[in-house]
Structure 1
Amino acid sequence: MSEALQILQKYWKHDSFRSLQNEIIDSVLSGQDTFALMPTGGGKSICFQIPAMMSNGICLVISPLVALMKDQVANLQQRNIKAIALTGGIKSDEMIDLLDNCQFGNYKFLYLSPERLQSDWILDRIKNLPINLITIDEAHCVSQWGHDFRPAYLKISTLKTHFPKTPFLALTATATPKVKEDIINELGLQKPQLFQKSFARSNIAYMVFEVEDKLFRIEQILKKNPQSSIIYVRNRKSCLDMSSQLQSMGFKSTYYHGGLTPKEKDKNMQLWMQNEAQVIVATNAFGMGIDKPDVKTVIHIQLPENLENYYQEAGRSGRNGEKAFAVLLTSPSDIIQAENQFIHILPDKKFLNQVYLKLSNFFRIAYGEGINEQFSFNLNQFCLKYKFPVLKTYNAMQFLDRQGIITLSQEFSEKITLQFIISSKEVMRYMSLNPKDEEIILTILRTYPGIYEMPIPFNLDLIARKSNHTEAQIQGVLQKLKERDIIEYHSKNNDSKLTFNEVREDERTINRVAKYLENQNALKKEQLKSVLNYINEKESCKSKLILDYFGEKTKEDCGICSYCIIKKNKKTNFNQLSKEIISILKTEDLNSREIQNKINNQSADVIFVIQQLVERESITIKPNNKYTLKI
């Protein structure tokens, strides 16, 4: 048995490698620069984690995704593998300690964002580490033609000068041929070994349905396939609304979005992971590092921004190899909504400059200052103050984040202030009458000696650890003390933290990145066109359309997508179905759902025939959405 397989079995409890994993590991171990294009669910992390475990030294992992870094570090630590992530918000002295640990503490993995490499002192420290492998995750970010370009990725190639004999491993799940070529050139990969797993997922049926009533169709799908499902929606409000509607219809449902606290996210995630909830309704904040093998159905009820994201999200179904469904429900108004959501809210250079200036003024950053300053930030308050449109402003800030000008952390935080408003003698009396609360109160008093004189910023996690209680228990005691007028207790939620990574230089800063903004906006328009082509193309296999987008050619139709199913059925029952629908409409006008209820046939077939009858002008639709025979 090979050493790689032994490590896989010991730490990951798998008996064999997935397709291409072993070949990629061998390439890295031989010292070759390596490029691996492996669609979502292909097991990319194993490709660098195992060779790093087999070699002396530490593996440097460059990733733009804080959530994914934290998730991978936590997973490695659970396996007793020493790993560290240098994420945003870590102070310089703490970072020095962490880098000391990397150098002297026998750590195997160091995760950091590409922006960290732009700090000279961090780069100097990394140059002195025994790096055995440099892994670039989400490598498409190096390409201006990728769907998430970050200029900081362009600096990664400088590591080649410091580690000329250390192999580079570039990993991505989605890259068109143009992006693939860009990755190899911009990272300076030397005669790289290329590994590309097919984008074909033969067990996934890609379905596109134009429907009038999306909720009704979702009900049909979930009843027909009562296994684990994901429903992707556009925003946080839709998460709550859809999940509530499904619960009222008898489905066990939960939800997930970026505005939940870490505890709420984990609680809802576990309900779904353990199949206590059939459905999780989510925004695109959901999915990072999720590997649930038994997901039967992924449903999108709005158009995705691009086919890269859609492919990744749809690919979270069917990872156990069993037949699964990726369903996209559309209606005529979706195209207008998608243009409003993805195109009309793209910031131009003028707007980007306004946002950056106001952001600096909002936090009183003087010209030439501000580097590494961090603030709590509420997007809605900022937009309200300057009368900025929220979505357009958010996109502008996301762009500034990707350029490394700012870091916008979406992690939920809670600011608490606390003050005792009765005398210490009365507090002692309360503790003697309530001995269960004594340990928590004494810990608070010992930790914050000035808490009688003024409101003190309060660290819930610290008190929980010091008193050996849970945060929920601490909050319970605080609530009780507040109700009895013993303390003043205020908590304020902030939806993000904002860090300025550069000194303020106003227009000079924006001029430097303006060309990237223009490229990004043009790319986003082209990407939405590809999505519209995917839903509107009626004469091609849906799987072939996706493969073609990623530069993979195939002559064979998949046989299971919505186009292929309709193509099979065309030969048999559509003439008869047309006659049945016309016969029903002779007696009364009906909407599509009422027609489906009266005809014992697949709903997709009924919708298709209705559309054909409308196109042939045999029937017409009235203002009340009911179909009637054409007079």
Structure 2
Amino acid sequence: MEQQALEILKKYWQHDSFREPQDKIIAEVLQGRDTFALMPTGGGKSICFQVPGMMKEGLCLVVSPLIALMKDQVQNLAKRNIKAIALTGSLSVNEISDLLDNCRFGNYKFLYLSPERLQADWIIERLKELPINLVAIDEAHCVSQWGHDFRPAYLKISALKKHLPHVPFMALTASATHRVQEDIVTQLALTNPVVFKKSFARENIAYMVFEVEDKLHRLQQILTKNPGPSIIYVRNRKACHDVAQQLRSFGFSATFYHGGLKEKEKEANMQLWLAEKAQVIVATNAFGMGIDKPNVKTVLHIQLPENIENYYQEAGRAGRNGQKAFAVMLVNASDIKTTKSQFIEVLPDKKFLKEVYLKLNTFLQIAYGEGMGQTYPFNFNEFCHKYKFPAVKAFNALQFLDRQGILTLSKEFTEKVNLQFIIPSKEVVRYISLNSADEEPILTILRNYTGIFEMETAINTAMITKKANISEAALIDMLQKLEQKGVVALRTSGNDSSIVFNEVREDEHTINRVSKFLEQQNAIKLKQFESAVQYVTDVSHCKARMILEYFDEETTADCGICSYCINKARKPKSPIETATAILEILKEESINSRDIETRLELTAQETVFALQLLLENERITINDYNQYTIK
């Protein structure tokens, strides 16, 4: 049986051996036992159910809340000539029924669905007819009220266990505290599960935190020193374009990746990086799912992440080949305040959630006790504008209602106007010179959407009309005129989303029932954020140990390679020696403080102190180019 598992791994995944503890998990599943696997990102969780799914007769059912991951896995299985289906998107009852018929009679090996699908009794009945050989529950921490991402739909999975008493169940998660682990086993009704926990230790990764003023300059230094494949994580789409462009101006080969790119662009940019035609890929957290490039040398974060879970997952894409790699975070004084405003201050409280829910029912004209099962077209921008809701906070409230199963958002909200300039920038300048009335709105768009020449970009019309001081109707007229003249490609849509109500409107009763989970999750998110802040501000502990201890893993030894350990082992340079070394350099040429710091491998504090010493003693002066020179 072990040999057969290895043959399947080689045939379909081209790997010669399993990673610890994949083979042990597979052996337990093949014995028909329930299993629980806590495996950090990059540990190869999917192999644990995909290999036994291929070995056993019938179909493996995979429950996952991540639509993007389901699609990604189905595509990857298809590339390996393995038949898989995902019940994603707003499929009709007939479409779902046809797909389930395919699973029954079409020799499919994997069926992916979200936990919300299990809330429909008729789907449970249809699943009972299928030859299911294994049930894999991914992101299993979502079943726990103590987890950071509780979804009530996960509680329905235990009912599936009653209908499939002889089928092994496998729970998988990349992060769970002891309390959450116990809750997962209880809530999923796992029968004497065999528990596997893989260490979160990545001994070949040097975790580095640097406080810097000029992040781009430090990026330039790091990428020059470590010229291997690199990922730079940023927070938004605009930063992807800006940072990639700045790196290219420094002479690096760089591309970018985010959720707003068309599929062809995503694939083309990813292939550039995978084939190492681009050293660097600048990406939002949309990048990485299913990516397993083993020789990533450096993963850099230039903004503070909202929690250690996300950071560990993204940093863990470095060094999967076992070679030394670097996970670097560049921070400055304003980062904590910025991140707090982006992630913590936009969390809805009970009062705000109730207001959004009531106004949503008013906006969609749903009467008390009505609405269940109905689909409503929905313009998110108009909704926020009408009731003066902050957009991010309102979206978080709607997303919470979605996760609690009260309603279903059909898709992520996008702006209702998508635009791309299809003539060169110099031609746009020429157009403005001939059409001065359009100058202010066009310049406002160009200033706020730097990537608009490279890709179709969703624009916020409310923001542009406010800054350019014109009406929305005038803006749309101008854009349509630009389209007719071949200046832009324009795509508009009246309603940017739709909402399905899964329950009748019950106002107070609805919100009171779920508000305790909202308060609990907000408290967890705040605690997670505080742990991320502690990680970057604590200068007295090993960074690798801090990560392990966060995940409840006991450790006694420092890693020896993180920024704390290196700084601790480094002997501080004497100010007199440093000043002498600086004078030697300045005899050859005049240079700035940053270059002095780089050439002598000094800390910023050592450089500043030595330069002040030399200035006070009138040994050096500063020229008109802000360079230091011998007096």
Q: Return the TM-score normalized by structure 2.
A: 0.80
Q: Match of 1:35?
A: 36
Amino acid at match of 1:190: T
- Residues 22, 99 of structure 1: alpha-carbon distance in 2 compared, 3 angstrom cutoff: same
**Equivalence map 1:245-264=2 (5 Å):** 245-264=246-265
Q: Match of 1:606?
A: 603
Q: Match of 1:114?
A: 115
Contact 1:411 1:497 in 2 (8 A): no
Amino acid at match of 1:111: Y
**1:40 alignment partner, SS class:** coil
User: CA offset at residue 179 of structure 1?
Assistant: 1.9
Contact 1:577 1:606 in 2 (8 A): no
- Residues 36, 560 of structure 1: alpha-carbon distance in 2 compared, 3 angstrom cutoff: same
User: CA offset at residue 325 of structure 1?
Assistant: 0.8
Alpha-carbon distance between aligned partners in 1 of 2:411 and 2:279, rounded to the nearest angstrom:
27
Q: Match of 2:138?
A: 137
Unmatched runs of 5 consecutive residues or more in structure 2: 418-479, 617-625
- Residues 558, 602 of structure 1: alpha-carbon distance in 2 compared, 3 angstrom cutoff: farther
Contact 1:53 1:108 in 2 (8 A): yes
- Residues 579, 509 of structure 1: alpha-carbon distance in 2 compared, 3 angstrom cutoff: farther
Contact 1:307 1:531 in 2 (8 A): yes
Q: Match of 2:405?
A: 404
Q: Match of 1:196?
A: 197
Alpha-carbon distance between aligned partners in 2 of 1:499 and 1:346, rounded to the nearest angstrom:
23
User: CA offset at residue 602 of structure 1?
Assistant: 6.5
Alpha-carbon distance between aligned partners in 1 of 2:494 and 2:280, rounded to the nearest angstrom:
28
User: CA offset at residue 342 of structure 1?
Assistant: 1.8
Deviates more, 1:78-87 or 1:190-199: 78-87
Q: 1:243-294 CA distances to partner (integer Å, 9 max, x unpaired)?
A: 2222222222222222233333223222222222222222222222221222
Alpha-carbon distance between aligned partners in 1 of 2:271 and 2:503, rounded to the nearest angstrom:
39
- Residues 404, 602 of structure 1: alpha-carbon distance in 2 compared, 3 angstrom cutoff: farther
User: CA offset at residue 87 of structure 1?
Assistant: 1.1
User: CA offset at residue 316 of structure 1?
Assistant: 1.0
Contact 2:34 2:194 in 1 (8 A): yes
Q: Match of 1:447?
A: none
Amino acid at match of 1:576: S
Contact 2:539 2:564 in 1 (8 A): yes
Alpha-carbon distance between aligned partners in 2 of 1:578 and 1:40, rounded to the nearest angstrom:
48
Unmatched runs of 5 consecutive residues or more in structure 1: 417-478, 620-625
Contact 1:228 1:297 in 2 (8 A): yes
User: CA offset at residue 497 of structure 1?
Assistant: 5.1
**1:295 alignment partner, SS class:** coil
**Equivalence map 1:571-586=2 (5 Å):** 574-576=572-574, 580=578
Q: Does 1:595 align with 2:623?
A: no
Amino acid at match of 2:23: N
User: CA offset at residue 608 of structure 1?
Assistant: 5.7
Amino acid at match of 1:80: N
- Residues 341, 90 of structure 1: alpha-carbon distance in 2 compared, 3 angstrom cutoff: same
Contact 2:377 2:499 in 1 (8 A): yes
Q: Match of 1:502?
A: 503
Alpha-carbon distance between aligned partners in 2 of 1:408 and 1:550, rounded to the nearest angstrom:
32
Give the aligned length.
543
User: CA offset at residue 489 of structure 1?
Assistant: 9.9
Amino acid at match of 2:182: E
Alpha-carbon distance between aligned partners in 2 of 1:163 and 1:35, rounded to the nearest angstrom:
18
Q: Match of 2:445?
A: none
- Residues 376, 4 of structure 1: alpha-carbon distance in 2 compared, 3 angstrom cutoff: farther
**Equivalence map 1:462-541=2 (5 Å):** 492=493, 498-541=499-542
Q: 1:83-109 CA distances to partner (integer Å, 9 max, x unpaired)?
A: 111113111110011111122222211
Q: Match of 1:354?
A: 355
Alpha-carbon distance between aligned partners in 1 of 2:129 and 2:290, rounded to the nearest angstrom:
31
CA-based RMSD: 3.2
- Residues 290, 404 of structure 1: alpha-carbon distance in 2 compared, 3 angstrom cutoff: farther
Alpha-carbon distance between aligned partners in 2 of 1:498 and 1:256, rounded to the nearest angstrom:
28
Q: Match of 1:98?
A: 99
Q: 1:540-578 CA distances to partner (integer Å, 9 max, x unpaired)?
A: 1100000011111122211111011111113xxx14257
Alpha-carbon distance between aligned partners in 1 of 2:410 and 2:47, rounded to the nearest angstrom:
27
Q: 1:17-58 CA distances to partner (integer Å, 9 max, x unpaired)?
A: 111110000011111110111111111111001111111221
User: CA offset at residue 406 of structure 1?
Assistant: 2.8
Alpha-carbon distance between aligned partners in 2 of 1:523 and 1:294, rounded to the nearest angstrom:
34
- Residues 338, 402 of structure 1: alpha-carbon distance in 2 compared, 3 angstrom cutoff: same
Q: Match of 1:216?
A: 217
Q: Return the TM-score normalized by structure 1.
A: 0.80
Contact 1:317 1:324 in 2 (8 A): yes
Give aligned-pair identity as a percent.
Answer: 63
Q: Match of 1:10?
A: 11
- Residues 365, 230 of structure 1: alpha-carbon distance in 2 compared, 3 angstrom cutoff: farther
Contact 1:369 1:503 in 2 (8 A): yes
Contact 1:414 1:493 in 2 (8 A): no
User: CA offset at residue 599 of structure 1?
Assistant: 4.2
Alpha-carbon distance between aligned partners in 1 of 2:599 and 2:366, rounded to the nearest angstrom:
65
Alpha-carbon distance between aligned partners in 2 of 1:392 and 1:314, rounded to the nearest angstrom:
28
**Equivalence map 1:445-460=2 (5 Å):** none
Q: Match of 1:82?
A: 83
